Amino acid sequence: MPNPSQCPACGAPNTCTLADPRTAAQPCWCFSVTIDPAVLEALPAELRNQACLCPRCAQVDEQLKLNNAHPAGD
């Protein structure tokens, strides 16, 4: 059973808010980005939907930087 708080691809903390009961009510970083389906398909099937990728493996570092530079809220 993979650790839900670790990236299944590299083992780094995935900082998924849903994996931690203390932060589960907060939206995860993954809600604000678009993950390339090819990245998910590259994972072994048994690891998919078990744990979140870390932002780096999900290849969304750039999207997160942009979101931080322009916080949502219109």
Burial environment of residue 54 by CB neighbours within 10 A (0 to 12, 13 to 18, 19 or more): buried
Of the residues 16, 30, 52, 57, which one makes contact with Zn ion according to CB under 5 A = 57
Shortest Cβ 73–Zn ion spacing (Å): 29
Q: Pick out residues in 8-37 that bind Zn ion (CB under 5 A).
A: 9-10, 12
Return the residue matching tokens 């809220």: 73
Q: How many helices (H) and strands (E) does the chain have?
A: 2, 0
> Which is nearer to Zn ion, 49 or 70 (by Cβ)?
49
Contact set with Zn ion (CB under 5 A): 7, 9-10, 12, 54, 57
